[in-house]
Amino acid sequence: MVDAQAVDLAVGGERQRERVRRLERGIVFHAQGSQIVDVEKAPVVDLVRGHAPVGQPKRLQLEQGMQGLCRLGGDACDPNNDNDGCTNVQELGLIPTLGGQRDPLNPWDFFDVPVPPLLPGSTTGVRNKIISLSDVLADLAYVGTTAAMPGSPNANGAKYGSDLNGNGIADGVEYDRTPSTMPLQPWRSGPPNGVVSLSDVLVVLTQVGTVCM
């Protein structure tokens, strides 16, 4: 005859031993008791279900998870990926004069230039995220400079190859663009072509009145 109490004790003892073995292997029961979670493989945060691993507040876990996501994309959390002065959100907007209908990964489509123009006697010009007639006049000061003759000054003393503002970008490049290739979107200036001419000045004109503040 089988002793029912003895069977229960035996089964209960086996369950207890299994629980101890799991704990020893680094496995813990989920806080809600419905799952087991392997501690060594547990994600920093379960973003889908919002479950925080035992012992840490959900908010902290979420922040750590978001930081991880930012690192994943390199600069996925950079609000201005192409560093042209307009934020990604502004460039994806609908209004061109607010920086919209541009490419957040194209650094050439917002033609804001250092003002006053970078010249030997004036090296403090800055891009101010506003394209005005001042930018047109500053670009005019660079007409005649070329990448082919980077050390050759034009009549204003401007040289394509100087770096008077010390930002690691040849000054001529900062005043050099090409016209948009999209007829319906003339404000979308293109990359430098090595020559600053009146064509560049006209390109700035198409963007006068644009503000990315």
**In the complex, which residues of this chain contact Ca ion (CB under 5 A)?**
80, 82, 84, 86, 102, 106, 109, 112, 128, 130, 135, 163, 165, 167, 169, 171
In the bound complex, what is the minimum distance in angstroms from residue 77's beta carbon to Ca ion?
14
Amino acid code (one letter) for 98: L
- Select 20 or 169, whichever has its Cβ closest to Ca ion: 169
In the bound complex, what is the minimum distance in angstroms from residue 52's beta carbon to Ca ion?
36
- Select 45 or 119, whichever has its Cβ closest to Ca ion: 119
**Is the Cβ–Cβ distance between 76 and 203 less than 8 Å?**
no
Look up residue 192 and give its two tokens. 């430098």
Cα–Cα distance measured from residue 177 to residue 201, given in angstroms and rounded to the nearest whole number? 9
Cα–Cα distance measured from residue 149 to residue 16, given in angstroms and rounded to the nearest whole number? 83
Q: Residue 210: helix, strand or coil by DSSP? A: strand
- Select 171 or 200, whichever has its Cβ closest to Ca ion: 171
In the bound complex, what is the minimum distance in angstroms from residue 202's beta carbon to Ca ion?
16
Continuous H helices in the chain: 4-24, 58-72, 88-91, 133-140, 171-174, 198-205
Q: Where are the beta strands (DSSP E) in the chain?
A: 27-29, 36-38, 130-131, 210-211
- Select 88 or 193, whichever has its Cβ closest to Ca ion: 88
Look up residue 170 and give its two tokens. 């040849």
- Select 108 or 143, whichever has its Cβ closest to Ca ion: 108
In the bound complex, what is the minimum distance in angstroms from residue 23's beta carbon to Ca ion?
52
Say how many C-beta atoms besides its own lie within 10 A of residue 131's C-beta.
27
In the bound complex, what is the minimum distance in angstroms from residue 209's beta carbon to Ca ion?
11
